[in-house]
Copies of this chain bind each other. A is one copy, B any other.
Amino acid sequence: MVVAKKFIIAKHFEGEPKPSDLKLVEEELPPIKDGEILFETEYLSVDPYMRPYAVNFPIGSDMCGCQIAKIIESKHDKFPVGKRIRGYYGWRTHTIFNPDKWNPPGLLKEKPGLLPDLGDLSPSLGLGVLGMTGDTAYFGFLEICQPKSGETLVVSGAAGAVGSHVGQIGKIKGLKVIGIAGSDEKCSWLVKELGFDHAINYKTEDVAAALKKVAPDGIDCYFDNVGGDISSTVIYQMNNMGRVSVCGSISSYNSDPENIPRSKILQPALIFKQIKMEGFLVPRWTDRLDESFTQNKKWIREGKIKYRETVTEGFENIFQAFTGMLKGENTGKAVVKV
């Protein structure tokens, strides 16, 4: 008999998530039936979206999230023992699943399946540069910003999984790339290792003044991971016909929905510069994930996309990994190695 450990939602998050909002419980798993597989989690993803999404699940639900797992028992021909799978099974160590009966929860439409072959790369990349965050960077930037060579791109949350990836795609596409991040170490990584043209530490620099200096001709594309005052500052320095891809709003995720933070209204900038601003969720491009996977893998092999992972060891430490990521303690993709 296998005993799974899992975190369930004990109380919906209010403000900053507290350890008592989740509860670590054990679940005795039954023997698997025909068509089912049993798998053991290897890596769990922690991502900003989990903070606002988790409040939509009923109390007692498994905490939501994507994982990479290895199949340890199988009664399904196409999912043999030893293969790895990837899917949104939540924060748990062992899971039984019938691949033919998948009924996705409303918010997460990606059908779980076998992890594509990553060769000698870590399977954890299936949660990052070769998974959801890589897909997010690829489609969210290219489809919504429609970047053109010679333009100027600003990325906020630039040292995070998505931001660091977007900036590098910007460089591949011939743009001038400016990152905004929260420490000198992150900024140094962006410029020295990833090839960003400039990086601004928003905790120590005046972002408006720094942008005027490094982007004197204005900003054409803005990839927004944070929302709030930083974003308003960027948007008021954009050029005519600028495009804003709104990916995340991490600055407001801990806010009560009835008490969303306030910032300078954007309408005057949007009108007089004819700016387009569009939010997205990556499931919009579910039928094109082969494209982003193939291209991102090629760029990684060519050394054009570099990545970093912040790996927390131990299933029990996932809550700290999650809240640390929300505070910006990670560089690159935050994952938990079970």
Stretch of A57-65, A263-271, A322-330 on the interface side: A263-271
Residues of chain B within 8 A (CB-CB) of A277 are: 270, 276-278
Stretch of A189-197, A224-232, A306-314 on the interface side: A224-232
The 8 Å CB contact of A281, one of B267, B271, B284, is B271
B267 touches A231 (CB 8 A): yes
**A279-B273 contact, Cβ under 8 Å, with A261-B265, A262-B264:** yes
A249 at the interface (CB under 8 A from B): yes
Smallest Cβ distance from A229 to chain B, in angstroms? 9
- Tell me the chain A residues, 117-132 only, with Cβ under 8 Å from chain B: none
A246 touches B271 (CB 8 A): yes
A52 to B279, CA, bound (A): 28
B265 touches A275 (CB 8 A): no
A252 at the interface (CB under 8 A from B): yes
The 8 A CB mask of A237-264 against B (1 = contact, 0 = none) is 0000000001111011100000011111
Smallest Cβ distance from A47 to chain B, in angstroms? 13
A252 to B272, CA, bound (A): 13
Residues of chain B within 8 A (CB-CB) of A284 are: 274
B260 touches A227 (CB 8 A): no
A268 touches B278 (CB 8 A): no
The 8 A CB mask of A269-296 against B (1 = contact, 0 = none) is 1111111111111001000000000000
B265 touches A262 (CB 8 A): yes
A280 touches B272 (CB 8 A): no
- Tell me the chain A residues, 37-64 only, with Cβ under 8 Å from chain B: 52
Smallest Cβ distance from A136 to chain B, in angstroms? 11
Residues of chain B within 8 A (CB-CB) of A278 are: 270, 274-277
Smallest Cβ distance from A241 to chain B, in angstroms? 9
For A249, give the chain B residue with the smallest CB separation: B267
Smallest Cβ distance from A163 to chain B, in angstroms? 15
Smallest Cβ distance from A195 to chain B, in angstroms? 27
Residues of chain B within 8 A (CB-CB) of A261 are: 264-265
B224 touches A268 (CB 8 A): no
The 8 Å CB contact of A260, one of B224, B265, B274, B280, is B265
Residues of chain B within 8 A (CB-CB) of A251 are: 265
Residues of chain B within 8 A (CB-CB) of A270 are: 246, 277-279
Residue of A227, A247, A248, A284 with highest tally of chain B CB at under 10 A: A227
B271 touches A264 (CB 8 A): no
A224 touches B267 (CB 8 A): yes
A193 to B99, CA, bound (A): 58
A residues sitting closer than 8 Å to B (CB atoms) are 52, 224, 227-228, 231-232, 246-249, 251-253, 260-281, 284
Q: List 9 A-B contacts (CB under 8 A).
A: A232-B265, A252-B267, A260-B265, A261-B264, A262-B263, A263-B263, A273-B279, A275-B278, A277-B277
